[in-house]
């Protein structure tokens, strides 16, 4: 079982953009050459015909033993097919059987809710059972809430504590950094979450100032995933691999000075 607590620094995790097995494998090979240490496969972007054990395994095998992080969100820019959370959950369990290491459980899985976090007792119990199944199959559970708006520290902490209480190994919350004030507040929230939450917390943001937060935020929390994009991609949410590698080298140098 992959254990993120045993990592010493943020893992450079390439967010795959392709949506067919052949194109994904090409993208993975390119990412390996660029220094990717893990990959995020967005199953929701793939047509149903490709979400078979055989096809998923071929993609994960191409990762060469690097960390494989799986998402299967309701929303998708490419795939318009609608399926239940139960179906999505089943597909991710199939991915574990094919070698996936980290499974992304939406914070409102089994009951779509505002800010992508549910507090409904029945839905939460189903989440806990699903997380237990993920662990039973030998994978790591991550819970995500894509809030997609700025939240003050106390509201972020409430979500983080709720996620952590459900038995996940990694907490993930995505907000916004639309102003410099929000950016600096989010940096402070990174530090707060490191103090208050036992699990590693992947705290990210979108918005005009997202790049600074996504590049430097990973170094303000426990060892975690450092989500990156391909070096040849433009106008993407994630920093490119090259910039992430440079940032990590800088962080190492600064750490040695202390």
Residues of the chain with pLDDT under 50: none
* DSSP H/E element including 202: strand 201-206
pLDDT at res. 252 = 79
pLDDT at res. 3 = 72
User: Helix, strand, or coil here: 75?
Assistant: coil
**Are the CB atoms for 153 and 185 separated by under 8 Å?**
yes
* DSSP H/E element including 204: strand 201-206
**Are the CB atoms for 96 and 138 separated by under 8 Å?**
yes
What CATH number does the domain located at 7-257 have? Answer: 3.20.20.70
Q: Say what the pTM is.
A: 0.94
């Amino acid at each position: 079982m992959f254990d993120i607590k045993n990592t010493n620094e943020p893992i450079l995790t390439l967010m795959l953009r392709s949506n067919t097995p052949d194109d994904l494998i090409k993208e993975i090979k390119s990412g390996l050459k660029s220094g990717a240490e893990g990959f995020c496969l967005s199953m929701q972007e793939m047509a149903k015909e490709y979400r078979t054990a055989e096809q998923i395994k071929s993609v994960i095998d191409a990762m060469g033993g690097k960390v494989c992080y799986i998402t299967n969100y309701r929303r998708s820019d490419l795939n318009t097919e609608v399926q239940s959370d139960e179906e999505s959950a089943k597909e991710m369990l199939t991915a574990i059987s094919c070698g996936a290491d980290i499974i992304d459980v939406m914070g409102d899985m089994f009951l779509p809710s505002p800010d992508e976090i549910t507090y409904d007792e029945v839905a939460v119990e189903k989440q806990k059972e699903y997380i237990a199944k993920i662990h039973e199959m030998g994978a790591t559970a991550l819970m995500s809430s894509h809030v997609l708006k700025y939240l003050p520290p106390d509201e972020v902490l409430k979500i983080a504590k709720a996620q952590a209480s459900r038995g996940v190994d990694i907490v993930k919350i995505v907000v916004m950094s639309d102003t410099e004030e929000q950016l600096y507040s989010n940096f402070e929230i990174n530090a707060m979450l490191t103090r208050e939450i036992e699990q590693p917390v992947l705290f990210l943001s979108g918005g005009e100032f997202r790049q600074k937060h996504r590049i430097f935020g990973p170094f303000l929390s426990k060892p975690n995933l450092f989500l990156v994009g391909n070096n040849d991609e433009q106008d993407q949410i994630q920093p490119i691999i090259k910039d992430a590698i440079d940032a990590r080298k800088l962080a190492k140098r600064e750490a040695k000075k202390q």
